Amino acid sequence: MSDFAAISVPGRVADAAEGITTEELALAARNHGLPLEALRYDVTPPGLHYVLTHYDIPPGPAGAWCLTIGGLVARELTVDLEGLRSMPATTVRVTLECAGNGRALLTPRPVSQPWLVEAVGTAEWTGTPLRALLAEAGLAAEAVEVVFTGADHGVERGVEQDYQRSLPLSVAIGADPEVLVVYEMNGAPLPPQHGFPLRLIVPGWYGMAHVKWLRTITVVGAPFTGYQQRAYRFIQQPDDVGEAVTRMAPRALLIPPGFPDFMSRTRFVRPGPVRLEGRAWSGRAPVTGVEFSADGGDRWSAAELDPPDGHRWAWRRWQALWTATPGPHMLCARATDADGLTQPLEVQWNRGGFANNGIQRVPVVCVPPPSAAVLP
């Protein structure tokens, strides 16, 4: 590990007035969020869904890609894509959000992938239920967790690794949500950046659980303590243990109305009624309400939430009508779920910058209608 120590340094928190660093920018240029106007689509078109790759997108398989299911099982299985495709398939619509969404809005800012609010997307994933594969392999009585290993390889905070995450056995074999090993996204083979040829889908959980470029599934008899399992925890100080990051906290996002200024992304609208639209989700319990505010969160009004459409693990659309009056406004929205969780006005800071579901703020200026043609 000392070979990497000079380069791959521990995580840190930005100084008070420190701008975004070149390293954070390099991550922002590689990875990308959902352009917020793309919240208009029920299912996110390819290329607009958020992407985070810890290391590199691995090359596609040179020959056959085999998935191995081993460890504490009765019979180790090796299955190729044809084998998976010959098993009963399930398709589920899932909203995926990065656990680091909102990180760059925290004060002080944890220095990592600098998401604002847009690390989200929704897709239809098709694949094989994990519990069917585990049943075929036969779980040993001592099984406690299941470890998933991807083909992406790199160094993180000094630790060389293949990307690895685990799930408790109860989650891995659960029926609702049902964890899937998927080979299709929106009816087509997975794009390289979304895990071609195979990835895990864990409906309701933040993105770090959905291991991409999946190669190996290992049933183990003790809680897994690999790097990524230690990294995704809510801590205040480097040596804290903290709670694990698991399911997505409730969040509502608004499609910024009107038209933007290129550089500031501030919105302009004309006076009169403005239809507001957005999406809301929670990985914990169904969203039960969305409210919006036009004054930065002082006063809130109920938005209209689309009725449940059977896609429990996907976002739901909401709408509201706002009457714009000349001058500046700050539009906000917040979601509440059936567990009674509501997005906070004051966010809970944590050192990894995880699960910041602080309320989105969209600056809007209402300007007079154009007095004459503005274009040549």
Residues in 188-207 at the binding interface with a copy of itself, rule: CB under 8 A: 191-194
Cα–Cα distance for residue pair 168/204, rounded to 1 Å: 15
Say whether residue 260 binds a copy of itself (CB under 8 A): yes
With respect to a copy of itself, which residue has the nearer C-beta, 191 or 289? 191
DSSP string, 133-171: HHHHH-B-TT--EEEEEEEEEEEETTEEEEEEEEEEHHH
With respect to a copy of itself, which residue has the nearer C-beta, 307 or 368? 368
Residues in 224-253 at the binding interface with a copy of itself, rule: CB under 8 A: 226
Residues in 38-57 at the binding interface with a copy of itself, rule: CB under 8 A: 38, 40, 45-49, 51, 53-57
With respect to a copy of itself, which residue has the nearer C-beta, 170 or 225? 225
Residues in 263-292 at the binding interface with a copy of itself, rule: CB under 8 A: 263-266, 268
With respect to a copy of itself, which residue has the nearer C-beta, 287 or 362? 362
Interface pick for a copy of itself out of 77, 84, 111, 276 (rule CB under 8 A)? 111
Closest distance to a copy of itself from the beta carbon of 312 (Å) = 26
Cα–Cα distance for residue pair 72/344, rounded to 1 Å: 42
Residues in 323-352 at the binding interface with a copy of itself, rule: CB under 8 A: none
With respect to a copy of itself, which residue has the nearer C-beta, 90 or 161? 161
Interface pick for a copy of itself out of 68, 164, 288, 319 (rule CB under 8 A)? 164
Which residues are CB-neighbours of 217 under 8 A, at least 6 positions away?
Answer: 67, 68, 69, 70, 71, 130, 133, 134, 146, 147, 148, 149, 181
With respect to a copy of itself, which residue has the nearer C-beta, 103 or 337? 103
Which residues are CB-neighbours of 29 under 8 A, at least 6 positions away?
Answer: none
Do 164 and 154 contact (CB within 8 A), yes or no? no
Cα–Cα distance for residue pair 320/323, rounded to 1 Å: 10
CB under 8 A: which stretch of 157-165, 171-179, 204-212, 276-284 binds a copy of itself? Answer: 157-165
Structure tokens at 263: 């550089």
Burial group, residue 255, by CB count within 10 angstroms (0-12, 13-18, 19+): middle
Say whether residue 8 binds a copy of itself (CB under 8 A): yes
Interface pick for a copy of itself out of 76, 240, 243, 261 (rule CB under 8 A)? 261
In what helix (H) or strand (E) does residue 357 lie, and over which residues does it extend?
Answer: none
Interface pick for a copy of itself out of 76, 160, 243, 295 (rule CB under 8 A)? 160
Closest distance to a copy of itself from the beta carbon of 326 (Å) = 9
Closest distance to a copy of itself from the beta carbon of 305 (Å) = 22
Interface pick for a copy of itself out of 72, 79, 92, 104 (rule CB under 8 A)? 104
With respect to a copy of itself, which residue has the nearer C-beta, 104 or 287? 104
Cα–Cα distance for residue pair 278/253, rounded to 1 Å: 5
Closest distance to a copy of itself from the beta carbon of 39 (Å) = 11
Nearest to 89 by CA among 113, 44, 125: 125
Say whether residue 362 binds a copy of itself (CB under 8 A): no
Cα–Cα distance for residue pair 300/124, rounded to 1 Å: 33
Q: Which residues pair with 87 in a beta bridge?
A: none
- CA dihedral over 34, 36, 37, 39, signed as positive or negative: positive
